[in-house]
């Protein structure tokens, strides 16, 4: 369903709005009334006052916002994530080092994957052998950066200031990691795996690794953890790990190494680059914003939290107050399926249930849709809230602060003007 034109709200940007005095300043900033203004919680500011961001262009990508170019990191505006299967050109990019020349050339000649460490026999296989010796699987899987939503934390956390677009759900083809590990023979001493890729450190120092993370052996042996060589029917694009990548669905994208060349089965927690210190760790206990948390009080991130996005319409849409607004988006969780999806236009005072499709397979996101009516003309905000199979529900505001700005799953809000 198409709606009327997008609007640009005139008036103060968000930082100036903070200085406005009460509802009078809010009405002036938006240029109109807010029917449920008395229900707007203190500290929650109209989404329409958010400032615009610029859009950059990357070869093979369309419409992504570039957050950094060394290494390359770019996110997708949520309105470009409406497809149930995210096209390669719309999938976000999260790199830590330099993309290998092999990946740019799309040439797997001479490449092989080594499996060693706590195994009965070391294994070395090339791409053709992986495809032929092990059962192939094709699955739609959500990959999300652990820092997706980092821009919402205050005080700000260091790192790429992702908003909501460091996520995608593409269709991957490959083999189960456990099938390959079983071929090597996992010893009883195995505790963790660590991956190594062909990507170069930014310094080009061959002794340094840009990233080398991993997962516990139980996650490595999970029936959903994959070694993938294909993305949406094509060989993995250069920025997505050609010729082979690891995918640990439901966990931070950083646990899925790209440009794989080695998997090291270990008898301890892996201690590669970005496995120690504060990388991909959060406080064991709630802390006040801005707290310096000792290393021993941090723990490694495992499951990603329940989350949802509104892909249609975009924020700032103008519609007729006499017609319902069609809403659409996706929801997912590292803990399992989404069981309920709700939307609100009165700042969370009341909620209506959205229709929710089952996932294509485990760890794929789920499409939701709803038609929403507005009681009168004026400024509204539509809030979206997902609930997963474990009963986890998205919070109204940014969740517990952490030094690196991980795991922000606050509800998305879009601005709507009914005329």
Residues 128, 134, 140, 142, Cα dihedral to 10°: -90
Structure tokens at 127: 């791409």
Per the rule left: phi > 0, alpha: psi between -120 and 50, beta: everything else, 117 is: left
**pTM listed for this prediction:** 0.88
Q: What is the rounded CA–CA span in Å between residue 301 and residue 279?
A: 9
**Is 64 strand, coil or helix?**
coil
Residue 17's pLDDT is 36
Residue entry with tokens 């149930």: 84
Residue entry with tokens 């103008």: 318
Closest to 300 (Cα-Cα) out of 284, 288, 316: 284
Residue-range domains of the chain with CATH: 14-53+304-418 (2.60.40.650), 65-300 (3.90.420.10)
- Report which DSSP code applies to 412: P
pLDDT tens string, the chain, 419 residues long: the values are 444 433 333 333 333 333 334 566 556 656 677 788 777 655 455 655 543 343 445 778 888 998 988 899 999 999 999 999 999 999 999 999 999 999 999 999 999 999 999 999 999 999 999 999 999 999 999 999 999 999 999 999 989 999 999 999 999 999 999 999 999 999 999 999 999 999 999 999 999 999 999 999 999 999 999 999 999 999 999 999 999 999 999 999 999 999 999 999 999 999 999 999 999 999 999 999 999 999 999 999 999 999 999 999 999 999 999 999 999 999 999 999 999 999 999 999 999 999 999 999 999 999 999 999 999 999 999 999 999 999 999 999 999 999 999 999 999 999 999 99
Task: Specify whether the CB–CB gap between 11 and 47 falls below 8 A.
Answer: no
């Amino acid at each position: 369903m198409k709606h009327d034109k997008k609007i640009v709200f005139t008036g103060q940007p968000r930082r100036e709005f903070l200085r406005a005095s009460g509802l009078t300043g809010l009405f002036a900033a938006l240029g109109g009334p807010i029917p449920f203004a008395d229900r707007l919680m203190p500290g929650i500011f109209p989404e329409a006052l958010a400032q615009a961001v610029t859009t950059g262009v990357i070869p093979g990508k369309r419409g992504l916002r570039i957050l950094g170019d060394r290494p390359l990191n770019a996110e997708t505006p949520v309105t470009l994530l409406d497809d149930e299967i995210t096209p390669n050109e719309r999938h976000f990019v999260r790199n830590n080092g330099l993309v290998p020349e092999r990946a740019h050339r799309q040439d797997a000649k001479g490449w092989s994957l080594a499996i060693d460490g706590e195994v009965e026999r070391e294994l070395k296989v090339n791409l053709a052998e992986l495809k032929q010796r092990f059962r192939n699987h094709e699955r739609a899987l959500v990959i999300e950066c652990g820092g997706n939503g980092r821009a919402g934390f205050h005080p700000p956390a260091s790192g790429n200031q992702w908003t909501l677009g460091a996520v995608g759900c593409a269709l991957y083809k490959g083999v189960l990691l456990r099938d390959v590990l079983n071929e090597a023979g996992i010893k009883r001493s195995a505790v963790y795996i660590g991956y190594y890729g062909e990507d170069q450190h930014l310094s080009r120092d061959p002794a340094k690794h840009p990233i080398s993370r991993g997962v516990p052996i139980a996650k490595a042996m999970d029936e959903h953890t994959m070694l993938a060589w294909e993305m949406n029917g094509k060989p993995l694009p250069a920025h997505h790990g050609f010729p082979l990548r690891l995918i640990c669905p439901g966990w931070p994208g950083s646990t899925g190494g790209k440009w794989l060349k080695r998997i090291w089965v270990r008898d301890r927690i892996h201690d590669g680059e970005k496995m120690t210190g504060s990388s991909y760790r959060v406080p064991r206990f709630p802390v006040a914003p801005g707290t310096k948390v000792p290393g021993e009080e941090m723990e490694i991130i495992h499951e990603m939290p329940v989350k949802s996005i509104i892909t249609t319409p975009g924020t700032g849409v103008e519609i007729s107050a006499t017609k319902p607004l069609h809403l659409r988006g996706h929801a997912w969780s590292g803990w399992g399926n989404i069981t309920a999806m709700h939307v609100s236009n009165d700042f969370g005072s009341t909620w209506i249930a959205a229709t929710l499709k089952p996932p294509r397979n485990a760890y794929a996101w789920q499409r939701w849709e709803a038609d929403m009516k507005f009681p009168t003309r004026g400024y509204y905000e539509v809030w979206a809230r997902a609930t997963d199979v474990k009963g986890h529900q998205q919070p109204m505001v940014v969740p517990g602060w952490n030094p690196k700005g991980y795991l922000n799953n606050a509800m998305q809000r879009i601005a709507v003007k009914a005329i």
